[in-house]
Each structure stands twice: as C-alpha cells, then as structure tokens.
Amino acid sequence: MARSGQPISTSEPAHAGPPSAGRITGSAATRAEAMLGDARQRVDARLETWAVRLADRIPGRNGQAVAYALRSSGKRVRAALVLAAYRSLGGKADGIDGVAAAVETVHAYSLVHDDLPCMDDDDLRRGRATTHRAFDVATATRAGFLLVPVAAEVLAEGAGELELPAPVLGELAVTLFEAGGVNGMVGGQWLDLRAEGRRLGLDDLVDVHRGKTGALIEASCALGAMAAGGSEAEVRLLRAFGADIGLAFQIADDVLDATATSETLGKTAGKDTAREKSTYVSVLGVEGARSEAESLAERAVARLRDGGIDVSALAPLAGYIVRRTS
C-alpha cells in the first residue's frame, strides 16, 4: 500500500527538528534546496520518459511540442510539496514520484497556455523560448490541451505503483483536475485577465490567486496526504497548509516581478506593471507584500504543528517559497 515499499531517498533525516517558516535558518534553507533538487531529479526523469513516449505516440509537431513542454524543468516546488506532504504522514514508496509528475504535467499545460498571445503573451519561460515561440500558437494551444489527458495517464501510473485502490485514484484525479479547471487555475486565470487595467482590493486579489496559483499548490499537498493514506483530518490540515502557501507563493512572485531582472527570473520581469495588473505589491507595497507572505507561511506551518503533523520537510519548503530569489 501507499506507506510501504522502498524508502524514498533524501539527503536529510526525515524527522529533523522543525524550523520556523518565516525566519528560515541556513540549515533549513539547505534542506529546502536538497528537497527541491531531489524532486527535480525524480520528476524530471519521469517526465523525460513520458516525453520520449509521447513524441513517438503523437505524430508530427504536436508530439514534439508536448515533449518540449514536458522538458521545461523548473523549480519543481509543487512536486516537492507532494513528496513532503506524503513523507509527513509516513509515506515511503517511490511511486509517489508519479503523482508528483502528474501535478507538474498539469502545471506544464497551464504554463503553455498562460504564455500564449491571448493570455500573457510571453516569449521566455524558465530561461528558454515559450512553446508557442519554439513552435507556433496553434501547435502550442493543442499541446496544452493534450497535456491534460497525459496528466491522467501519469497519475494512474503512479497510483498503480503505489497499489492504491481505484476509489483512491478517483479521489486523486478529482482533486488534481478540479485544481486545474474552472474552479481552480482556469477560473483564476479568467478573473486575472478580466481584472487587467482595474484596481483590485486585497480581497478580490486573493480570490484571483486562490484559483490561478493557489489551487494547484493546495492540491499538491492534498494529493501527497491522500496517497499516504491520510485521515480526513490530516488531508484537511494539509489542504489548508497548501492554500496559505499557494497565496504566499503568488505574493513572492509579485515581489520578484517588481524587483528582479528577467535574467534572474528566467522569464520576463515587469510584465505586471506593463499590463496594468493589480498585484500584492501595488496594493501592499514591496515590504508589506513580503510581510504578508511571511505571515501566511508562519500560519501555515503553525496549523500543521498544532495538528500534530510532522513539519520537518514542509516548514523548510514554506520558508523557501517566501524567501526565494527566482
């Protein structure tokens, strides 16, 4: 079952002392980087296998574009959160990598469409040409749609390795695809586009980003908990953690967009101001936004700790999310 199998390798002890999320220490930062590196290695290997399969299975440029999108290696924060949530409830089987890869496949589809000219019209993503620039708009649009059923296949493969029963796979699928759909990312993106050129208050801004950014991060934490066989209470706690961390992630993004360079970010900086978008920086200022992100991260970790959840992996990731520089 989910909590059995070969142990997932990690460069740090699984139950190291829990650091504060907001005031992340040097050792916690090192642990976060190690976990992100482990997640990248594991998930990138899975996605490379799928990229090769799909380039062969899907004919022509469509298959090439799908493979290109899957090979866009990022920070893998969502994958690391899946793994950390799974481990926090005692999960040890390597099949969880497939669940994490499914999340990153949904994220890849969202980035392909987010970068299109009808959306954010970006030329650069993760330090290389966006999919519609590497191919063309029509091909990139199709590739994004094709990645959705691919994510279902990736998820099913991982659940099979974990020997999860069919009803649990169904719950995982509902959680993942609701997060990627109209009640999550798609709905949030629509609200974000509709808000361009308008001045949003903080509550409206939160509504946008609970869907656009937060939904998939929340789902990542829930999926890890569900795959580990967590109780309803445990899954609920990890969902709440993910919801707070998802907002903190977006706030950190807004700060970086306002303060970092395109070279540092690996994508175009300053786009929010150019498109007259309301952001946490425009509403709260840079320092106010940073403080809000820190508060959300600290609240998220405190809720888990109070609920008896092991935060030795999740707290460093929360700290990384609010303190990252790209």
Helix (H) or strand (E) holding 52: helix 26-57
Residues in the chain predicted with pLDDT less than 70, given as ranges, are 1-26, 261-275
**What pLDDT score does 10 carry?**
35
Whose CA is closest to 193, among 253, 137, 289, 276? 276
Instruction: Write the DSSP symbol of residue 110.
Output: H
The pLDDT of residue 21 is 43
Q: Is residue 54 part of a domain?
A: yes
The pLDDT, as a whole number, for residue 286 is 93
Chain-wide mean pLDDT for the chain? Answer: 87
State the greatest distance between any 2 C-alpha atoms of the chain, in Å, as a whole number.
53
The pLDDT score that the predictor gives to residue 264 is 60
Supply the pLDDT for residue 193: 79
**CATH for 118:** 1.10.600.10
Whether residue 11 is contained in a domain is answered as: no
- pLDDT at residue number 1: 42
Any alpha helices (H) in 118-213, and if so which ranges? Answer: 131-134, 137-161, 166-179, 185-194, 202-212
Residue 79 lies in a domain: yes
Query: Is position 14 within any domain?
Result: no
Tell me the pTM: 0.87
Q: Under DSSP, is residue 164 helix (H, G, I), strand (E, B) or coil?
A: coil
Give per-residue pLDDT as tens, 254-302: 999 888 766 665 556 666 666 677 889 989 999 999 999 999 999 999 9
Among 59, 69, 219, residue whose Cα is nearest residue 155: 219
Residue 291 domain boundaries: 26-323
Rounded to whole angstroms, the Cα distance separating 104 from 93 reads 19
* Segment (H or E) for 129: strand 128-129
* Domains: count for the chain: 1
Kindly report the backbone phi and psi dihedral angles of residue 280, in degrees, each rounded to the nearest multiple of 5, phi listed first. -65, -30
Question: Which string of b and e fits 171-199 if b means at least 16 CB within 10 Å?
Answer: bbbebbbebbeeebbbbbbebbeebeeee
- Residue 124: beta bridge partners? 129
Instruction: For residue 3, count CB atoms less than 10 angstroms from its CB and return exposed for 0-12, middle for 13-18, buried for 19 or more.
Output: middle
Summarised one tens digit per residue, pLDDT across range 40-74 is 999 999 999 999 999 999 999 999 999 999 998 78
Q: Decide if 142 is inside a domain.
A: yes
